Structure 1
Amino acid sequence: MLEKVSIVIPFQTDNGPRAEVFEWIKHYYEQVMPEAELCLGIIDKGEINKAKAVNLAAKKATREILVIADADVVFDPQLIIKALKVLPHAPCIIPFTEIYDIDRSGTERLVKSKPAWPFAFKADECKKASWIYQGFAGKLIIIPKVNFEAAGGFDERFIGWGGEDDAFSLAVQTISGKLENIEGVIFHLWHPSSSYSTNPFGKANGELLNRYKRANGDPQKMLKLIRERKYNQDRIHQDNIELLNSKKGHLFKSPKSQICFAILVHEKKNLVKQLIENVRYFCPNSAIVLYNGSYDSTLCEGLGVPVCPSSHKLNYGYTAVYFLETMEWLEEMEIQYNYFINIDSDALFIKSGYEEFIQNQMKDTDYMGVDHRVTANDWHIGKEVWKDQDRWKKLFNMKPLDGVFNVGQVISRPLVKALLEPERKERLKRALLKTYSWGMDEVVFVNLAKELGFSRKKYPNPYDSVMIRYRPHFTLEEIIYHLSYDNGYLCHPISREENHSIRHLIHHLQTGIHSELYQNREYPWHEDNQNQYSISLPVKGETDLLELVVRSGSSLTHYRQGEDFKWYKTQTFAEGVLGMPFLFRTQSGDLGVVCKLQNGEVGLWKRYGDVWYGPFIFQIEKNDLIMGSHFTADLLE
């Protein structure tokens, strides 16, 4: 009967007693069960991870029945034969009811003997374990490979000692059926002990095991836990716990601004890192969480931000479920916040003040969205909703149908809790996962807020729907314009090109490089009163030497580096300005400067050869911009 069996043994060496026992155990199976296939899962370095070792060994198994045995147990081969006769009627067998611990001296004597069954042991070297509890499923498990795979194998998020066996047994029982115990005895060999108290990951293991306990008996919840592993490999859960328990954990658990930004990401790790740094700089008192909508399980690793563990691949236009799954996870983690705000990965802040803006605007409402309105009949996303009207009319009234732009939706905590009411949450999640309506993130939450009687409003600034829009991508000149006019805070969409000039500009604004590097006495523009002048970002000239513009009082002056790398004044070319000048290269390669005028307008100067022309007055038309017309194209060509 053992011809159908693969013996799966996980092992991670301590280069000591455990290693000696393991060598004896390997020879034992070779001697007493030669018909069985022996599959070893050996981990040589890193944190102890039995689950990973089990999965590694199981991948090597070629037979239909797995005997998963710890590397420190010995038993009568007849236990396996007996269990195999019962296995057709049970999804998994625990083939023992008693464990006897062999002490150190007995173990040391045993490993020096020839592996065989039965083996001789002295009564005073062996003691019956009293800690076995109802439902225990560790040490030795016999399970068809198909049931092992249905349970997703062992959960590798359990690090160190404890929790992985219980989690696996709960998954098997929920997915495949109740485990069955049969009478038998196994022997446990001595080695230095471990426990939750000595495991630095014990708390995280316990919290993860509690999630399995809460999912026990509910196949849908259990499958959700199992699916988490596929898209959140290695230590996502552990990383989250470590972040929440770190010195900065209070910012995640209870952000001072009461804002939690939920960011859906799907590519380009460096850009994700840029966005995190951007939010931290301009909204320093807010929490950030990520949702990994890609197949790349490493995309969010090492970024110092918690990641929603139920993240999974999302298709473009069908992403609204990430709101709900992230909200659900935040509640599980008991994160304290008042405002849930979604940001896309191609958005960036350009100035501070958004936290105060949200706190102010949300005093009298529970939901705020960009361009919130009652939609027209020809709205393309509205037409998508009507394609699947039988599904959506069960959740909210579709006449009239409200709409918003997706990015920057602000949802209050009371509304979040209402959305997560168990029955409503399950109906909503099923609808979001099964719908064939594209773009539901611009419809579903605003209309549910209305349906549930929560107050709603649109972003109040007329420029909000200019700065947060679908297309076109922002130009550098637009960013400078909005910075100069102090129109708003968040810009979308920003090009995902890592070295785009806009990203360089915003990065410099964050780091303050221009003001820190160029304000000491060695420079010719220095003034003792630093409030009297401001300096643009330097840009490379035609010879790769730097150029910049300084506002001194109300005038603008151009400076250029010489070949000796000293700075030389070329000319003062503008009067009647205030604030910080922004120097940039136009689309044709010429230099341009934008600065606010004392009369409140914004001026543009262009240099042709060595001559500066201007000011041209910056203007922007909202409707033209949304339709994709070129911003000040006549001035920039």
Structure 2
Amino acid sequence: MHENSASVVVLTCDSYTKKHGCIEHTLLALLSQAEVNLEIVVVNNGKQPGDGEKLAQFVDSCDRDVTVVKTATSIAEARNEGARQTSRDLLVFVDEDTIVSDSLALARVVQLSQRYRHGYGARRLWTRPGSWFDEQSDKIKRDIARADYSFLLANSDLPDGTIRNKNNEKYLVRSFIGNFGFVRKEDFLAQGGFPTRFRGYGLEDDAFSFLCFVHLGEPVILDEITVVHVTHPIGGAQLDEYRANLKLYGELLGSYGYSKFHIGDLMYPETRGKRPILE
């Protein structure tokens, strides 16, 4: 039993090629967490050998142990494999492009996990688009190493909803459970992890959140914690995968007798209306 501790599973997929190498910033922010004992497991689900080599070099340079697991599978299966490699009672999931911009954030999560079985919905800002992150990469890393997030936060804001083919930014400015969220390991295993029927990009974390809501009850919303999402483009192929997963998502809800899971109502409790979360 590790006191005041958690296992953090970080999923990465060709970060150096596709996302400005931000896996380094994300890991530095986790390594800078205070008042908490963290086990960090990175799941390298990428295809580019050069990215894997750069990741290995960076991990070797870290002053604390970071475990790297290589996979070549779906997002859901990769996260599940990372969870299988952990040894702590609490699982925290973080995406490679999500910088935890508060050095006490994980300590708060551990405290909350003593009262709540799962949680997500951290406030999520987005960095400036274009080349800004590349140009400021070294400065941001130096700042993170000092647990100074002021520059990063000052240059991050609400995104344009169309950046992810959305009508508004509502679902972009809160973290889903795979972006930044937690669940007790025993509960994660009891739900079977992230549903592996979902292939490629999208909705595997909505599906897991649905299962958690059905079996564990309401999550705690982490809206007192701020994370920063590193802005990057996604391709048409990923949007096609998302559309294909929509059908699977509908089938999952239908198997429990529902057609809708209003996760947005959960993540914005201050504006939550009277409609039920499940319909």
TM-score (norm 1): 0.31
| Structure number with bigger Rg | 1
- Please name the residue that 1:16 is paired with: 17
Report 1:159-174 matches (<5 A): 159-174=199-214
Report 1:267-278 matches (<5 A): none
Report 1:5-84 matches (<5 A): 5-13=6-14, 15-18=16-19, 20-32=21-33, 35-45=37-47, 49-75=74-100, 76-84=102-110
User: Which whole-Å CA distance do the structure 2 matches of 1:151 and 1:124 have between them?
Assistant: 39
- Please name the residue that 2:262 is paired with: none
Report 1:138-537 matches (<5 A): 138-184=178-224, 185-194=226-235, 198-216=238-256
1:3 offset after TM fit, Å?
Answer: 4.5
Paired residue secondary structure (1:121): helix
User: Which whole-Å CA distance do the structure 2 matches of 1:24 and 1:118 have between them?
Assistant: 12
1:186 offset after TM fit, Å?
Answer: 1.4
1:109 offset after TM fit, Å?
Answer: 4.0
Among 94, 103, 126, the alignment partner of 2:128 is: 103
C-alpha contact (below 8 Å) 1:170/1:212 kept by paired residues: no
List gaps (5 residues or longer) in structure 2.
Answer: 48-70, 160-168, 259-279
1:123 offset after TM fit, Å?
Answer: 7.0
- Please name the residue that 1:131 is paired with: 170
- Please name the residue that 2:117 is paired with: 91
What letter matches 1:125 in structure 2? N
Are 1:118 and 2:148 matched, yes or no?
Answer: yes
Paired residue secondary structure (2:124): strand
1:132 offset after TM fit, Å?
Answer: 2.3
**Per-residue Cα deviation, 1:124-166 (whole angstroms, up to 9, x for no partner):** 7322243228995441111110111111111223222211110
1:209 offset after TM fit, Å?
Answer: 1.0
C-alpha contact (below 8 Å) 1:22/1:72 kept by paired residues: yes
What letter matches 1:89 in structure 2? R
User: Which whole-Å CA distance do the structure 1 matches of 2:32 and 2:91 have between them?
Assistant: 19
Paired residue secondary structure (1:111): helix
- Please name the residue that 1:461 is paired with: none
**Per-residue Cα deviation, 1:516-568 (whole angstroms, up to 9, x for no partner):** xxxxxxxxxxxxxxxxxxxxxxxxxxxxxxxxxxxxxxxxxxxxxxxxxxxxx
User: Which whole-Å CA distance do the structure 2 matches of 1:199 and 1:47 have between them?
Assistant: 20
Richer in helix (by share): 2
Paired residue secondary structure (2:228): strand
What letter matches 1:25 in structure 2? T
C-alpha contact (below 8 Å) 2:175/2:181 kept by paired residues: no
What letter matches 1:140 in structure 2? F
User: Which whole-Å CA distance do the structure 2 matches of 1:194 and 1:137 have between them?
Assistant: 22
1:81 offset after TM fit, Å?
Answer: 2.1
Report 1:585-600 matches (<5 A): none
Paired residue secondary structure (1:159): coil
1:176 offset after TM fit, Å?
Answer: 2.1
Q: Decide whether aligned partners of structure 1 residues 183 and 216 sit closer, same or farther in structure 2, where only a CA change above 3 A counts.
A: farther
1:32 offset after TM fit, Å?
Answer: 3.2
C-alpha contact (below 8 Å) 2:98/2:227 kept by paired residues: yes
**Per-residue Cα deviation, 1:561-606 (whole angstroms, up to 9, x for no partner):** xxxxxxxxxxxxxxxxxxxxxxxxxxxxxxxxxxxxxxxxxxxxxx
RMSD: 3.0
Q: Decide whether aligned partners of structure 1 residues 138 and 44 sit closer, same or farther in structure 2, where only a CA change above 3 A counts.
A: closer
User: Which whole-Å CA distance do the structure 1 matches of 2:175 and 2:137 have between them?
Assistant: 31
Paired residue secondary structure (1:193): coil
1:30 offset after TM fit, Å?
Answer: 2.4
Q: Decide whether aligned partners of structure 1 residues 135 and 6 sit closer, same or farther in structure 2, where only a CA change above 3 A counts.
A: closer
Q: Decide whether aligned partners of structure 1 residues 43 and 77 sit closer, same or farther in structure 2, where only a CA change above 3 A counts.
A: same
Q: Decide whether aligned partners of structure 1 residues 48 and 193 sit closer, same or farther in structure 2, where only a CA change above 3 A counts.
A: farther
* Structure with more relative contact order (C-alpha pairs < 8 Å, separation 6 or more): 2
List gaps (5 residues or longer) in structure 1.
Answer: 219-637
C-alpha contact (below 8 Å) 2:5/2:90 kept by paired residues: yes
C-alpha contact (below 8 Å) 2:26/2:97 kept by paired residues: yes
User: Which whole-Å CA distance do the structure 1 matches of 2:190 and 2:148 have between them?
Assistant: 36
1:199 offset after TM fit, Å?
Answer: 3.4
C-alpha contact (below 8 Å) 2:7/2:86 kept by paired residues: yes
Richer in strand (by share): 1
Paired residue secondary structure (2:42): strand
Q: Decide whether aligned partners of structure 1 residues 100 and 216 sit closer, same or farther in structure 2, where only a CA change above 3 A counts.
A: farther
Paired residue secondary structure (2:7): strand
- Please name the residue that 1:421 is paired with: none
What letter matches 1:179 in structure 2? P
C-alpha contact (below 8 Å) 2:117/2:216 kept by paired residues: yes
C-alpha contact (below 8 Å) 2:32/2:103 kept by paired residues: no
C-alpha contact (below 8 Å) 2:99/2:227 kept by paired residues: yes
C-alpha contact (below 8 Å) 1:173/1:217 kept by paired residues: no
Q: Decide whether aligned partners of structure 1 residues 111 and 122 sit closer, same or farther in structure 2, where only a CA change above 3 A counts.
A: closer
